[in-house]
Structure formats: C-alpha cells, structure tokens
Amino acid sequence: MAENRSTTETMVLLAIGGVVGAALGILFAPAPGKETRENVGNWLKDQKEKGEDMWKEGAEKLAAKKEQVKAAYAAGRESYLSNSEKS
C-alpha cells in the first residue's frame, strides 16, 4: 500500500533529492575547479531566487486564504446573530 504524504513533505523530499543530485553531479563533473565553483555559485543564486519566489507565492496564497476565512467567519457570525435575535 502506498503511503500518503503531504505536499510539504513531498516538496522537502524533492528538494533534498535535488540537492543530493546536484552535489553528485558537481563532484563527478569533468570541469576545472574555478569553473565548478562558478557553476555552484550560479546554481545557488538561482535556487535562492526560486525559493524567494516560492515564499512570496506562498505568502500571497496564505493572505488570500486568511481573507477568505475572515469573510466566512463574519458571514457566519452575522447569520448566527440575526437568527438568534429572531428566536
């Protein structure tokens, strides 16, 4: 039977696999040290930018959900109060 994993857990495992794969690729790459260091630096910069983009996107989604929950709470509270006044 397959395990059910959360999206976060899957993303973390995917990131770890990517880092391990990149490290192995760099270790076994037939490039000079200076070129390899430049490649690693560029790769790290790209990953940082991707991470920042993902963080920003997640924060935006969280803010949208927060507003959605606040609106639902307000509507539910208003409905409750109006129904309790009628009783």
CA distances from 34 to 5, 17, 43, 50 (A): 40, 25, 14, 24
Number of structural domains in the chain: 1
pLDDT at position 1, please? 38
**pLDDT for 11-64, tens place per residue?**
888 889 888 888 888 777 777 878 878 888 898 899 999 989 999 999 999 999
Residue 1 in any domain: the answer is no
Rounded distance between C-alpha atoms, residue 39 and residue 19, angstroms: 14
Residue 82 in any domain: the answer is yes
Q: Residue 36's domain spans which residues?
A: 7-86
Reported pTM = 0.49
